[in-house]
Amino acid sequence: MALIEEMERQGNFLFRYRGTLPLIVLVVGLLLFAHSQWLRVSLGQPELPFDRFDQLVCLFFCFLGFGIRVYTVGHTPKNTSGRNTTGQLADELNTTGIYSVVRHPLYLGNFFLWLGMAVLTMNFWFITSFIFLYWVYYERIMFAEEQFLRGKFGPTYLDWASRTPAFIPRLHQWQKSSLGFNWRKVIKKEKTGLLAVFTLLFLFDLIQNSIRNKLLTFELDFWSVAFAMSLLTYMILKFGRKQIRFLSVAS
């Protein structure tokens, strides 16, 4: 099999599971964080508290990534891949708004979102490894997506791709989006991402407090409240959508 076909095959496979690898890596990050905290406590070394500068850096990257995703999803047309896992979808080629400065804004958003979590491990080698794995993993997914778009839209796609970078935005090329912002679509599609952010932040906090106290410790603090609120919001939006009239409107 030619390399170009192999890359496309791998990309289509990874596309179906594109949310899996970052989660696996971040579970490893949680274990690494727990080990480093336990080691410091057992050796009597000064603690590196969760609520320090690293927390602010994490929040900055997480909300930057989440904001990119929200803006992108809010301005996407109907019948695009989104969180779909069955295969590539695109009824039209979106080349305005954020797509005028970068070809894969959702994956850019994902990168910052998960990078924020990786920062909490406070381990340089883990963060570096995460960036490398993310690059290798999503490079193949982006390749498969672009092969699909190239085959479907032909010269129109090639013209857009020739002037728009794949991952690093070229901000001076910005063009106003031709589509209005659909906040119903954002609420429906991004509730999972918001829950994931606060769940992982809560787990980091829980691990650190439990290791400090040498006992599983639940504390009523900002992270536990934020996790509870995001979980409640997710449950309402997930299972009460039909009862909430404005969310049941087709988007």
Q: Which pLDDT value is given to residue 250?
A: 47
Per DSSP, 96 falls in state S
Given a contact cutoff of 8 angstroms between Cβ atoms, the answer to whether 40 and 46 are in contact is yes
**Domains of the chain by residue range:** 3-79+90-180
Is residue 19's pLDDT more than 70?
A: no
3-79+90-180 CATH pick, 3.30.70.141, 3.30.450.40, 1.20.120.1630, 3.40.640.10: 1.20.120.1630
Task: Specify the amino acid at residue 5.
Answer: E
pTM reported for the whole predicted model: 0.81
2 is written with which tokens? 């030619």
Q: Which pLDDT value is given to residue 179?
A: 81
Is residue 64's pLDDT more than 90?
A: yes
Range name among 108-122, 172-186, 228-242 with the lowest pLDDT average: 228-242
Region 173-187: what's the mean pLDDT? 85
Q: By C-alpha distance, which of 5, 3, 16, 4 is closest to 137?
A: 16
Region 87-97: what's the mean pLDDT? 71
Is residue 249's pLDDT more than 70?
A: no
Phi, psi of 174 (to 5 degrees): -55, 135
Distance separating alpha carbons of residues 124 and 120, to the nearest angstrom:
10
Residue partners of 233: CB distance under 8 A and separation at least 6: 191, 194, 195
DSSP string, 4-50: HHHHHHHHHHHHHTTTHHHHHHHHHHHHHHHHHHHHHHHTTPPP--S
Number of Cβ within 10 Å of residue 126's Cβ equals 19
Is residue 82's pLDDT more than 90?
A: no
Region 226-240: what's the mean pLDDT? 84
Q: Place 246 in a pLDDT band, splitting at 50, 70 and 90.
A: low
Quote the percentage of the chain above a pLDDT of 70. Answer: 82
Q: Which pLDDT value is given to residue 84?
A: 46
Angle subtended at Cα 241 by Cα 237 and Cα 246, rounded to the nearest 5 degrees: 105
Q: Which pLDDT value is given to residue 85?
A: 45
Distance separating alpha carbons of residues 164 and 173, to the nearest angstrom:
8
Is residue 77's pLDDT more than 80?
A: no
